[in-house]
Amino acid sequence: MRIGQDHEKLSSLSRNFGVEVLSSGKVPAWITWALERSGRLKVRKSPLQPRIVFWLVVGMMLWRNESIPAVFGLLISGIRGRVGDLSLRPVTEGALTHARRRLGVRPFRLFFRKLGEEVQPPPSFRGHRVWAIDGTRLSVLDTPENLRVFGRRKVHRGRAAFCELSMVCLVDAARHMVRDAVFGLWDASELRGARRLLSHVAAHDLVILDRFFFGLPFFQEILAHGAHFLCRVSGQPRLQAIPGTRQRHQYEAWMTRRVPWEPGDVRTGWGTMKTVRLRVRVIDYRLRGHGRVRLVTSLLDREKYPAQELAVLYHTRWEIEIAFDEIKTHQNANAHGQLQTTFRSKTPRNVLQEAYALLAAYNLVRRTMVDAAQPHEIDPRRLSFLDSLRAIQWMAPRMQSASTALLPDLYRRLLLDVAETRLVRFRRPRGYARVVRVKMSNFKLKRPRHRQVLRDYASMIRKAVA
């Protein structure tokens, strides 16, 4: 009888459910649009309506160290007081799993991309908006289903501990917000993913790239969008210096590449290949203790774009690495005793669902930080992401239980709390070696045959001592 009453109460409440602490602006409308567009808005009478399941998955990305039923309990803890005697766990864990599977991946993909549309960086470098593109890998549980789809990469001691999902992101370097992302298998080409992200780059934008994205075709695609690039060069590519352009720490050079003739080309010889070249500016300098650094850029005007400023700007590429650290280490922090994976889902479809929800939750937190920093004219990067996340987590149940009239005041209080998380030691000069504390373990490597085995030890003991 109690279960039926709980289901009836939850069904009426979850129809228009929302997490007020992250629902500022057009967020509720965008969730409705994503659910409608994916055909998931109308569901039979159920205690787990699409909106509450949507927020459950987003909440899983904010409370990574909690179990899924515990996250659901946190979400409904605020509304329990409105309906009286509602159980803390009114539905089973299996029901939550089925509801997630029913919702699918598409609503989260649509919502994340809708959030990404509002990511418009301010012109932070001489009138140019600055983007950063880079890739990373996210660890996935090594269940048979995930292993069959994602696979595991080879390492020097055999295979990696977990399956992995690759991710290439286009990030606003000034505010750490993710404009868009491309997911793939662990061995997917980051360059191919980066090409898909260039559709969001506009004229006069500046894209900062790591050395692995160096290449004439990719640079030409960036220039075709009217944008510019600033990329590091490894020690191998030889650049043909243009005579008379060399100055201290910089010169202009030709990047060349042989490509097949295309239909309509006016051929100048009998060969089957033609030479394509691109004029770039090379900035060459040495860092004490780090060796030689070479940068190439399409910004050729030396008066407007001094070499020293471009060299300093390139090192803001590390902002995307900090964003990845915030996502993988702080937002997705695992409790002691949990498997150290980014995602907790055991099926590929739910892994992708979590992946889009992860980035959507990150953008919602960063969005709140931008709103908090703006009135005080603070650089959003100077606010602590971890402390801001905690402030949101602490305020969430309070806003859930508050009346509608009190919500504006509570949200203003939240913005003040986030603004007070200003970092005291912002970007202090420091460096760390790339080393680990625990290199290896004396235990044997886990194999498929080492999975859980059910044993009745009581019966085994009785037989042993009979």
Domain boundaries, the chain: 2-112, 118-260+271-327
How far, in Å, CA of 170 to CA of 198, rounded?
8
- The pLDDT value recorded for residue 81 is 65
How far, in Å, CA of 272 to CA of 265, rounded?
12
Collapse the DSSP code of 159 into the 3-class scheme (helix H, G, I; strand E, B; otherwise coil) and give the result: strand
- The pLDDT value recorded for residue 108 is 97
Size of the chain in residues = 466
Nearest to 147 by CA among 186, 121, 195: 186
Which amino acid appears at position 133 of this protein? Answer: I
How far, in Å, CA of 334 to CA of 337, rounded?
8
pLDDT digits (tens, 9 = 90+) for 437-454: 777 777 777 777 777 788
pLDDT digits (tens, 9 = 90+) for 410-433: 999 999 999 999 998 877 777 777
pTM, to two decimals: 0.90
Q: Provide the 10 A C-beta neighbour count for residue 194.
A: 23
CA distances from 431 to 213, 290, 428 (A): 25, 11, 10
| Residue 83 predicted with pLDDT over 90 | no
How far, in Å, CA of 207 to CA of 129, rounded?
8
pLDDT digits (tens, 9 = 90+) for 145-163: 999 999 888 877 677 888 9
Q: Give me the percent of the chain exceeding a pLDDT of 90.
A: 54
- The pLDDT value recorded for residue 252 is 92
End-to-end CA distance of the chain: 47
Q: CA 166: distance to chain centroid?
A: 11
- The pLDDT value recorded for residue 4 is 55
- The pLDDT value recorded for residue 228 is 96
How far, in Å, CA of 297 to CA of 309, rounded?
12
List CB contacts of 360: < 8 A, sequence separation 6 or more. Answer: 58, 61, 108, 111, 112, 115
Tokens at 233, concatenated? 């060069």
Answer left, alpha or beta for residue 244, where phi above 0 means left and psi between -120 and 50 means alpha.
Answer: left
Nearest to 355 by CA among 373, 329, 328: 328
**In the block, which residue shows the tokens 């969008």?**
225
Pick the CATH number of 118-260+271-327 from 1.10.1040.10, 3.90.350.10, 1.10.760.10, 2.60.120.1060: 3.90.350.10
Tell me phi and psi for residue 180, to 5 degrees: -165, 165
DSSP 383: B
Q: Provide the 10 A C-beta neighbour count for residue 109.
A: 21
| Residue 52 predicted with pLDDT over 80 | yes
DSSP 213: G
**In the block, which residue shows the tokens 């905690």?**
390
pLDDT digits (tens, 9 = 90+) for 95-105: 899 999 999 99
- The pLDDT value recorded for residue 1 is 39
Nearest to 16 by CA among 50, 60, 62, 58: 50
Burial (0-12, 13-18, 19+ Cβ within 10 Å), 422 = middle
Q: CA 366: distance to chain centroid?
A: 12
| Residue 230 predicted with pLDDT over 70 | yes
